[in-house]
Structures are given as C-alpha cells and as structure tokens.
Structure 1
Amino acid sequence: MAGDPFDFSPGAQIPLSGSSGQTAATQALASAAYRDGPVEDLLKANSDWATSEVKKPRIALFEPNLGEAFSRAVQLRVLGAGRKPLIQSFGLDPQPVVEHCLAASRIRKQRDIQLTGIMAVCGILFLPGVLLYLGAFQIRRMLAGAKDKRTGALGMALVAALGVFAVILLVKLPLHGFWALYIRAAIIAPLIGGVWAKVICERTAKDLRDRWTGLLSGGGIGAKIPEAVPKNPGETAAERLRQSLERLAAEQHSNVVFYAGPKGILGMGTRWGSWQLAEELVPADPDKEINPFRSWDVIRAIHDQLRLIERSPVHTGGFTTPAVEHWVVSPVGEGAGAVSRPEGDSGFEIRGAELQRICNEQQFGAGSRHYLGVQFVLWDGQLVITLLITVTVLHKTLRIEVTGHALGPVHSLFMGKPAARTKTTTKTVKFWETRTRKLPIVAPREIVRLAARAPLTWYPPLLEYWGGKLVLPEPFGLRHAWADKPWRHRFMADDALRATTPVLRVVHQAALRVLAENGVDTERFGNRAMFLSGAVQDPAPRQADIYNA
C-alpha cells in the first residue's frame, strides 16, 4: 500500500526459506509446526527468560496437539493485527519459522476440508451414530489417563458396554421398516467414514512427518505459502500477510533491545560477567589541558578495531567474523508484559545524530543507554555470544565497561525426530521373551479427534474456546523463549569464556590510543587494563545481574 513505511520489498513475491538464517536453531523451531504429540510437552522447554502456558480444554476431544497449537499461537502473535512488538531472535531467522507455521496450517486446512466433507455425509445424515461414537471416545479420553486405575478401568468398561449395545442394535431391533434400516445405517456409516478418514489422516501425517524429519536433517521441503502473494490489487488479505512478513524482517534488524533486570537483555541472555576500567582523566602534560573529546570518539575507535578482530598473526583458525552493532538498551521491569519500539522510516532503528546524542549525553539518570556490541553466532545458530561495551564520563572519571551475555541452544525437545509408533507385548508360550510390532502412524483416537475438530476449524476462536490453546510468554521472542543456558555444554562454555579476553584487550587498546591522542595520561589506565586482562581469564561465569543486598 502506498505510504506504508514497512513495505521494503520490490513487489509481491513468495518469501523463500532457503535464504540466509537457515541454521540448526531456525530449523529446529520450524519443525515444531509439523510435530504431533501432546501440547503439554512444550511446557518442558520453557526457559528462565520466558514461560508459556496451556489453557486446558473444556472438551478433551477438541484439544490441539503440539504442532497445531504452536502454529496457531505463533501466527497470531507474529502476524496478527495490533500485535505487540517482538523481541529479536538472535542466532536464527524468525521469518522461515513463521512461514513453516503458515505452510503447516495450510496442509492441515486441506486435510480438514476433506474431513469436514466426511463429517457432513456420515455425521449430519447419520447424527445419532456419530454422537454415540464421539461420546464413547470422549469418555475414554477423559478417563483413560486418570491417575486412579479404577477410574480408568471404569472408562474402558463403559466404552465396551457401548460397543456391546451397538452390536445388539445391529442384530435385533424393536423397530421395523425405515427406522430399523436408518439405525443400522447410523451405526455402520460412521465406521465407513472412519476408514475413509484414516486414509486422509495417515497421508497428511506422513507429509507432516517428512517435513519434520527433513528440517532436522538439514534440508527438507521449503515452506509454500501462496496465500502471501497477491494476484491482483483487490486481494487485501494476501497483501496484509505479505506486509506482515516484511514487518517481521524489519523488526528483526532493530537495534533497540531491552534490559529486564535479573533476566538480562531479552534475546541476548543474562549478564554472566562484567569488567570495568575506571580512572581519572589527568593531562599527560601538566602545562596543557586535555583536548576535548566525547564518548562517541572512543566508541568509534573501538568499533573500527573490533571490525578487524578476526585477523590473527598466527594461522590457526581464530574468530569467525562477528557482527559489530551499536545498540540502544532500554530498561524494562523483570515481569514486564510488553515492550515498545521506535517506528518510522528508519525501520525500528535509531541511527545517526540521535544515536550519538544517546551515547554522549544519556549516561546518568533516566533514559536509554548506548552500548557497542560484538556478537558471535556459533554452533550453527545454537550459541549466541554477545559482548557489550559502554563508555561513560562523569566529572573527571572515564569508565569503560565490558559485559558478557550468552544465549545457549534451543531446548532439546525441538531436536527430536519423529519416532514410529510401536507396541511391545509378551509372547504367549515363551513368556520370558517379548516382541515389538509396528502400529499405524495415526492412532484411532487421533483420527476421531481430527474428525471432530475439522468442522470447527472454520472458526478458530470457537475451537480454542472448547479445545484450549497455547499461550505464548510475553515479551515474546522465538529464540529466547525456548533457549537453554550454554554452561552445561563444555565446548559452548569454553567458546563463551575464550571470546572475552581478546575482545577486552582490543577495547582497551583502542581506548588508550584515543586517550593518548587527546593528551591524557594513560599510565593508570594501562595498569588497570593489565590487571583486568589477567582477571578476565578466571574460568567461572557469574550471575552479574544479581546484587546481594
């Protein structure tokens, strides 16, 4: 649309999933859109930064599985109208994750159209039989998982009794003529529809599982979302979806982040280390004054040196090329439910003169603060190491502070591939031996659940009211919501600790050069820098954001 500041694309196009950002973390989270299994499993992946919740269903037969709930929740949160700002997902590209959620929903929608047709033929025309079977499965679903074994056995007995009742109706009825034929048909027709529905559900489940496996194997089929491509100017829904995806990409590149107290910087992780160099600004020549300079001059010199940090005099590998960025950090409460970003033609970013003003002036009191960050994305996106540098001048004291933040891999739940359904039983004769047989890819109760939900998928709010839903944590970001800490992984912890020392030395060298060029006595600064260079080698991450009163 004309005048929309978020329309950064040259025109209508299909977002491609094979572009930059297809890392292990991206593909792992994208695979959640295709997963089956109970939605409660997702609660196991909650991190220290965010906690998701599951609203319990009013009718257990309508509850979603993990993939359905995840896809629906992410789509609404990221692409919904009037949504709140998102937290950046460092180490992955959120757009492919959202695209796979859209693609998975499209596949399920095509399946539900067919299941709705089956329910219309076998359900509406033969409603008494369908209600009988749905009631039996609802009772079984409610009682089969009961902690009291006697309650579970009672549920199975009730289901068996309903089955016996259905057989009696087929064999001997007190009615004759049309109603006798109708009742028999009402008992048989849902079974025929169930066989038909089984074929459809198994075909769709195989497609979803193939895409799930493909993503975790490093490839897979790309997400196809033709509904995001407007074919004519009148398709406003497709145009809104395309613009929402463009807005997501622009918001991902915002340089505004949020400090949530002990939770650290949202999206970057907690602050595990802090090293401060603070000394008095004394002229090198007592007869001359210090040349006027600003914090931005020191920051700019540090920025230029950090851009060369991957270079090494010894050819032994060394650093990968880091991302060096100027960040504006805004404080929010530890339990904040939302954040706010600048919006405008700059695309959610603060640049130019305003960035320099924050760096030079907003060093004490209220307001956002400026930090220069060097960020390493390692382990195919599973580890994000961020070192932030800030320079402040209060009266005659110049302080250079370097803080370390680390965000670990996505939860192991997202790394598991689909497993075949099997059942192990004891042999009749050789009772000391067992045998394992392979079960169908979709269980009978899952087919009933999908068929019962299908007619309601045309109006998702009603389905969520009866079946429950996944509630995403706020402030929401795909990466930090389900991230682990890196300290349990030996090599990841080593990488986080090793990156600090060379970065700290580059920062100090660049700062000392600027001070010397402006007539500052650097002896005390140099001595303090040497002390910090030794202290930073302490191989123990700390909880630097927790202050013991």
Structure 2
Amino acid sequence: MTTLDMTPGAQIPRTDAGPQTAVTQALSSAAYRDGEIGQFATDVTDVTAKKGRFALFRPNVGEAFSKALISRALGGDRKPLVPSFGVDTRQVVEHCLAAEELRHARDRQLSTVSVVTGLLFLPGTLIWLGAFQLRAWLKRDNTRGADTYGALALIATAVLAAVLLLRPPADGVLGIYLRITMLAPVLGWYLARRIVERSAKDLRGRWQDLVEGTAVAATVAKAVPRDDLDKKANDLRDKLGRLDAEQETNIHHYAGPKGILGAGRRWGEWRLADTLHPAEGHVDFRAFHPWDLVRRISAHLKGLGVSHVANSGIPDVAIKQWVVFDVSETADEISRPAGADMDGERMRDFAVQGLADKQTFPGGPRHYLATQFITHDGKLVITFTVTVTLLANVLSISVAGYALGPVKGVFFDKPKDKEKTIAKTVKFWEERTVKLPLIDNDEVVRQAVRAPFHRMPGLLGWLGGGLGLPEPFGLRHAWVATAWNNRSMVDNALNASVPVLNAVHTATLEFLQEHDLDADRFFKNRTSIIKSEAQGSRPYKVDQFDAG
C-alpha cells in the first residue's frame, strides 16, 4: 500500500488501498453524515454523546465525528493510537479534514448572511432564536407534546412580527427599524436555507459514494504548503505523516481478554513443546538461538502466497516481527518505549532480534512473529502469532489465532430520505408515509447560529457538546463487531490456520534436523497430533480463563 505524498498533486483520490477499501470508506463516510449524535452513539455503543449548554448549538454526526477524530489523531501532545489493521487511518482523517473544510466554506457564507440579516437586526433575531431554542430544547429532552409547544412558540413569534410590522410602537427611523427587525431574520432564513440545502446534498452525495465503494477524493488543500515558510501546512503534513508511521509500528499491546489491541481476541492456540535430544549418531547438537528458528519459520510463512495449484495461494500475506507489551484490560492509554532501540514509532531490527533471543521468563515485552491476512474487502483481519521459547533444554513453539471482525454496521448505512408516518385524512384508522424535506427550519437555524463560531471549535464544543471517543483509541478495534456471526468469515479463519500450522511445523522439523537434533523421536509424532487437532478446530475464547 502506497502512502500519499502531500505535494500540490495530493488531491488525487487513492484507489490503491489494497484489501481494506470497504472499511476505510465506511469509516470515512461518517465525516459527511447528518443526523443526531445521540442515536449514533446508541448504535455504535462505544462513543459517548456529550451534552452542550444550548441545544441550538448541537452538532450533527458528521460535525462531531470529524472534530473528535481530528482532535484525537492530530492533536498536540496526544496519546499514541492503536494500529488499525485493515484501515487506512490517514485516509479517514483526511476525509474528516475535507468534510470540515466543506462545512467551513458553507459557514463562511452563512456567517455573512447572519451578520447582515441577523446581527444588524439583533432584537428580532434574539426573539426568533429564543423560539427555536425552546423548540430544540423540548425535542432534545423528548418532552411529550414537544412539536405542539414548539409550534405554538413559533406562531406566537410570527404574530409578534406581524404586530410590529403593522403597528410599530414608535415613529420615524426607529419605527422603520422595528417594522423590519423581525422580517430581516426571515429573509436571512430563506437565504441560509438555500446554502444549507446545497451543502447537505453535496455532503450526502459523498456519504453515498463512499458507502457504495466509489472513490471520493479527500481534498486537503491546507496540508499543501504554499512555500517553505507555510508553517501550518508543513505542521499538518508532518502530523499526517506521523499517522502513516504510527500504523507501521511493530510495538503492540496485549490487554488480557481483549487480546492484542488492534488484532482482536485470541480464538485458538496450538502448542508444540519437548526436550531437545541429539539425533542418533551425534553426541551433541549444534547450538542455536530462538531467532534462528524464527527466521526459518518466517521464510516458510512467506511461501503461503505461492501454490502449485492454480489460484490456491493465500493473497496479501503480511509477515511481521512484533514486540508485545502487557497492559491491563481496563487501561485507558498505551505507550511506546523511547531510546536508542527505537527508530521513531518502530523498534530497530537489532533490538527485536535481541528480544527474541532473550528469555523473557522474568517478565517484560515479548517477541511475536505475526502472519496477517486481510480478507472480505478489509472487513476481516486474521492474525496468527508464533512465539519460540527455549527454557531448560525444552523448545516450545506456540501458534495463536486472532480475529478482528467488521466495524459496526451503522458505518455501512446509506443516507435515507426523511419520512414520517401519519394517519390518512379520510380513513383515519389507516396510516401513510410522507416524505419530509431534506432540510427543515430547525436545521437551517442550527447551522446559521453555529456558523459564526466555526473558527472557535472549543467554544462550539462547550456550547453544543460533541462526541467522546473510547480509549485506548484505534479506528478499527474501538468499533469492531464479532466475526463469528458470519459463517464465511469463520471458515476463512479456520481454513487459514491449517496452512499456517503446516508451515510452522515444516520449518521447525527442517531446522531441528539441520542442527543434529532428534526430530523423529518426539516432534514428528506431536506435529501429527496438532495437525489432527487443527482439522477439527473450532473458534473458542482462549483468554476467558474459566475456573470451574
């Protein structure tokens, strides 16, 4: 997978995202969505909807999602992100930036309308806003009869506007001002409605295209420096580059029953262990380090993509050397080590090799050889880890399987027409569905009052609320659904385990024989037993340790 070079040609959409296109685009679509964040938080379950001080300033899903993700991914002294396998994290963040810029362009137009027709006629504007604030407050708290009382508030305001127009309480210039003070906001509403409708159609079109799989360019013009002195653009480009580097880290974290963060829970484990004995005719065997065996196993695993039978090689096999730290199941952040052993977000190769050779019985980070497959257009991530341990002349090789299912279904929802079910006029005992306008009066007012504050996101968050993201945060694992509800995904995970085990066992036997070890005496028999177990393997929760 290639990365995006943020030069002036950076606005070309990346269509080479490999096997992870579907999930990346589904997550990206959230940046362009509308709707209430309360329902979104309920559907996703792992985010929290933060209430603001005024319902009129509340953000919709796309506004809240974009702001939360940009702040979390590109913020200043932020915590490290959990790697998101099967997702192009940078592309999702770029879509959030692009959606935010589209909204800012809309907000600049709305701000002009608000100043001319709202601020200059502030008394009338405040009266209209008070009515809409009451309406929004009633709807937010689901008060019974909210629509009725809200309508009454608007009717009362309209009556007041008519009274001022026909019989203003003053003469002269002040009288003229009073006549139009409540009419000017109505004109502003009309102009704002046209701007809001045009923007909503554009954003919904992008949402639809992304969910359906159409390539949509994430134009991030402010990440393209105009010159060498453009500090903001260079800073944003560097932060986006850090996202790419962070996703390629080889430092990972095991959170107990949650499994490896970003790779999912452990669903199966196979172990091969026995005492090392010299082969017949040899007094001793050739000494070796665990890393030597790891390299041999890695070479065999790389061959899984090739097969003597046409179209039977496993595509997109990724072999990685991981360093895994333990964290508690309830940890709300992760950290990565610093020092000479690190090269940015990655541990240097010599340090990884040293860790593999070092016995970790006293504790500390461990070396895992990971084999990863991304299938179902990125919806399923299958990972197998191999650990090699030498203790007291006993060689132990463990293979564990992890599965990370698709993200929550709400991210794959397409935009729907707004509808309402009402009783028929004549046959009142029957119901009919009517199509509602894409943009209603409440939405126009909401966006118009938020627009002047678009350069002050912190204040907007205080006024209207937002979304809280789960920690430790990673785009994929935070919102993942189980893979075992999909038979095809279960079959893929189980079927992939057999060739992986076969490659590990074949490499081990070859290695033992080359080092004058008795492979026939124990390992071949035990390998056969494990292969038999793999034939009938079923997914189970390895890390759910039952005491009974």
Fold shared, TM-score > 0.5 on shorter chain: yes
- Identify the match of residue 540 of structure 2 among 521, 539, 542: 542
Aligned to 1:186: 181
Q: Which residue of 2 aligns with 1:532?
A: 530
Q: How does 1:17-416 map to 2 (within 5 A)?
A: 17-21=13-17, 23-46=21-44, 51-149=46-144, 153-285=148-280, 288-315=283-310, 317-342=312-337, 346-416=343-413
SS for the counterpart of 1:388 is strand
The 1:152/1:429 distance shift into structure 2, 3 A limit, reads closer
Aligned match of 2:453: 456
SS of residue paired to 1:187: coil
Q: Answer whether contact 2:262 2:476 (CA < 8 A) is retained.
A: yes
Residue 443 of structure 1: CA displacement?
1.6
In structure 2, the CA distance between the partners of 1:120 and 1:320, relative to structure 1 (3 Å rule), is same
- Distance (whole Å) between structure 1 residues aligned to residue 245 and residue 147 of structure 2: 52
Q: What's the CA shift string for 1:251-283, capped at 9, x where partnerless? A: 111111111111111110011111111111122
Aligned mates of 1:342, 1:510 — CA distance in 2: 32
Task: Output the CA distance in 1 between the equivalents of 2:430 and 2:378.
Answer: 45
Q: Which moved more, 1:149-158 or 1:321-330?
A: 149-158
**Secondary structure in 2 matching 1:458:** coil
Counterpart-to-counterpart distance in 1, 2:28 and 2:85: 15
Q: Secondary structure at the match of 1:521?
A: coil
1:185 & 1:8 partners in 2: Cα distance? 53
TM-score by length of 1: 0.93
Partners of 2:387 and 2:11 in 1: how far apart? 37
Whichever residue aligns with residue 97 of structure 1, its letter is V
Residue 272 of structure 2 aligns to which amino acid in structure 1? L
Q: 2:10 maps to which residue?
A: 14
- 1:480 is aligned, of 477, 480, 499, to 477
Where 2:278 maps in the other structure, the secondary structure is coil
Q: Which amino acid aligns with 2:25?
A: Q
Question: 1:321 Cα shift?
Answer: 3.3
Q: Give 1:426 deviation, angstroms.
A: 3.6
Instruction: Give me the whole-angstrom Cα distance separating, in 1, the residues matched to 2:536 and 2:415.
Output: 42
Match of 1:516 in 2: 513
Gap runs ≥5 in structure 2: none
Among the aligned pairs, what percent are the same residue? Answer: 45
Asked if structure 1 preserves the Cα contact closer than 8 Å seen for 2:161 and 2:183, the reply is: no
Deviation at 1:124, TM superposition (A): 1.3
SS of aligned partner of 1:478: coil
Question: RMSD in angstroms over aligned alpha carbons?
Answer: 2.2
Q: How many residues align?
A: 540
Deviation at 1:439, TM superposition (A): 2.8
Q: Answer whether contact 1:424 1:434 (CA < 8 A) is retained.
A: yes
Query: How much does 1:156 deviate?
Result: 4.2
Distance of aligned partners of 1:378 and 1:14 in 2 relative to their CA distance in 1, 3 Å threshold:
same
**2:435 paired residue among 423, 427, 438:** 438
The one-letter code matched in structure 2 to 1:40 is G
Counterpart CA distance in 2 for 1:450 and 1:147 is: 21
Judge conservation of contact 1:384–1:408 (CA < 8 Å) in 2.
yes
1:306-339 Cα deviation digits (max 9, x unpaired): 1111333433534223101111111112122222
Do the aligned partners of 1:276 and 1:401 also contact (CA within 8 Å) in 2? yes
Partners of 1:12 and 1:401 lie apart in 2 by 49
Residue in 2 aligned with 1:4? none
Decide whether aligned partners of structure 1 residues 78 and 530 sit closer, same or farther in structure 2, where only a CA change above 3 A counts: same
* Greater mean deviation of Cα atoms: 418-427 or 33-42: 418-427
**Does the 8 A contact of 1:32 with 1:66 survive in 2?**
yes
